[in-house]
Chain A
Amino acid sequence: MSDTTATQILSFIEARFPQARIDRTQDIFSLGFINSLFAMELVMFIEKTFGLTVPNDELNINNFRTVDAMTALVDRQRGTVGVA
């Protein structure tokens, strides 16, 4: 499950930033061309794609820095909501 989650997030970032060469552990905001405006797009993408609402206390930039962090966030939310 998490593997496909990570792949989907990675493809979303790469589609938006074709010049990005990133892996799952890379801090995307340290690359120089991704700014906080993209954090908003990431939240929207994740909520729409994985059918969840990120709670306020999880809306922390650290949850969106790396593909791994976002994948963990999605897994956590699915865990708490308890849907398969």
Chain B
Amino acid sequence: MTVVGVVGAGVMGIGVAQNLASSGYETILVDVEERILDDAKAAINRNCRLSRLMGGPALDPDEVLGRITTAVGVEALAKAEIVIENVTENWDVKREVHARLDQVLTPEAVVIVNTSAIPITRVAAVGDHPERVVGVHFMNPVPAKPVVELIPGFHTAPETVEVTRQLLSGMGKKAVDVKDASGFVSNRVLMLTVNEAAYLVHEGVATAESVDEVFRGCFGHPMGPLETADLIGVDTILYSVEVLYEHYADSKYRPCPLLKQMTDAGLHGRKTGRGFYTYDNAGQ
């Protein structure tokens, strides 16, 4: 079975690793600290245990975790045939990780970038093998979301796209093809919506509850934009809006100061127990 490396054991890395392992892939999950990896394993254990309750398939936590090994540092990925990178949405962090990956991986390995808004072509240019780098924008929670955006960069080889399509189909995902542009389709629209919703709260026009109620009640959305922000991570929202702002140099993406304050204050949403709402340490 294909060996797949997963870089970053945060909200997305946890979901990606679980999805891979439960689909039968041998998975190596890496991050920068042992503690983060322990938390990730605990979260995967809990998510598997509660999978059926949440409307997913019945999953045996031991079986899923049995296919996942963890390690500190990307050096552990030397034998990976495919790597899915899910580190923090910050250019400096992504650049450093991709520079290391380019040295560690075999030339045949495929590198999948999971990002909210950073252009794939930009990430691919970091290493010497831009043809093996491709973007996949997974949705959150990964195991529960059957559709992803598939984004080839400027130099991405057709073989890279093909290997990625096969992996995605093995993970039970349908891919929507999208061209490379910051934010792709989903976050070009969603991040603006969440940012503007944060402005409504910031300006005192409505509470978070009322904003979300309008989206659920009036538009029939299953979740409002601010509950969605808490699910995604308020910090990740801010970083993504900043990426869009910088990339398009367009003031319509100006990040709401409330997002900045919440990020500084550690109000990152579900993952820290508090964001626009307060959670009972249930984690992601």
Q: Which A residues contact B (CB, under 8 angstroms)?
A: 12, 15-16, 18-19, 32-33, 35-37, 39-41, 43-45, 48, 56, 59-61, 64
Q: Are A39's CB and B213's CB within 8 A?
A: no
Cross-chain pairs A/B with CB under 8 angstroms, 8 sampled: A16-B279, A18-B209, A35-B222, A39-B54, A40-B50, A40-B282, A59-B50, A64-B53
- Chain B contacts for A45, CB-based, 8 A: 280, 282
Instruction: Specify the main secondary structure of chain A where it touches its partner.
Output: helix
- Chain B contacts for A35, CB-based, 8 A: 222-223
Tell me, yes or no, whether B248 is within 8 Å of chain A by CB: no
Q: How far is the CB of B33 from chain A (nearest CB, A)?
A: 24
Q: Are B278's CB and A16's CB within 8 A?
A: yes
Q: Which of B53, B209, B223, B281 contacts A61 (CB 8 A)?
A: B53
Known contacts A33-B212, A33-B216; A39 and B53 CB within 8 A of each other? yes
Q: Are B213's CB and A19's CB within 8 A?
A: yes
- Chain B contacts for A61, CB-based, 8 A: 53, 55
Binary CB contact string for chain B from 269 to 281 against chain A (1 if under 8 A, 0 otherwise) = 0000000011111
- Chain B contacts for A18, CB-based, 8 A: 209
Q: Are A37's CB and B53's CB within 8 A?
A: no
- Chain B contacts for A19, CB-based, 8 A: 209, 213
Q: Are B280's CB and A32's CB within 8 A?
A: no
A35 to B216, CA, bound (A): 12
Interface centre among B49, B50, B216, B280 (most CB of A within 10 A): B280
- Chain B contacts for A16, CB-based, 8 A: 277-280
- Chain A contacts for B55, CB-based, 8 A: 36, 61
Q: Are A41's CB and B212's CB within 8 A?
A: no
Instruction: Specify the main secondary structure of chain B where it touches its partner.
Output: loop
Known contacts A16-B280, A37-B231, A41-B279; A32 and B50 CB within 8 A of each other? no
- Chain A contacts for B216, CB-based, 8 A: 32-33
Q: Which 5 residue pairs spanning A and B have beta carbons closest together?
A: A41-B282, A44-B282, A59-B53, A36-B54, A45-B280
Known contacts A18-B209, A35-B223; A60 and B281 CB within 8 A of each other? no
Tell me, yes or no, whether B79 is within 8 Å of chain A by CB: no
Q: Are A59's CB and B52's CB within 8 A?
A: yes
Q: Are B54's CB and A40's CB within 8 A?
A: yes
Q: Are A36's CB and B53's CB within 8 A?
A: yes
Interface residues of B in 219-248 (CB under 8 A from A): 222-223, 231
- Chain B contacts for A36, CB-based, 8 A: 53-55
- Chain A contacts for B282, CB-based, 8 A: 40-41, 44-45
- Chain A contacts for B277, CB-based, 8 A: 16
Tell me, yes or no, whether B170 is within 8 Å of chain A by CB: no
- Chain A contacts for B209, CB-based, 8 A: 18-19
A43 to B209, CA, bound (A): 23
- Chain A contacts for B46, CB-based, 8 A: 40, 44
Q: Are A59's CB and B49's CB within 8 A?
A: yes
A60 to B278, CA, bound (A): 25
- Chain A contacts for B266, CB-based, 8 A: none
- Chain B contacts for A12, CB-based, 8 A: 280
Tell me, yes or no, whether B217 is within 8 Å of chain A by CB: yes
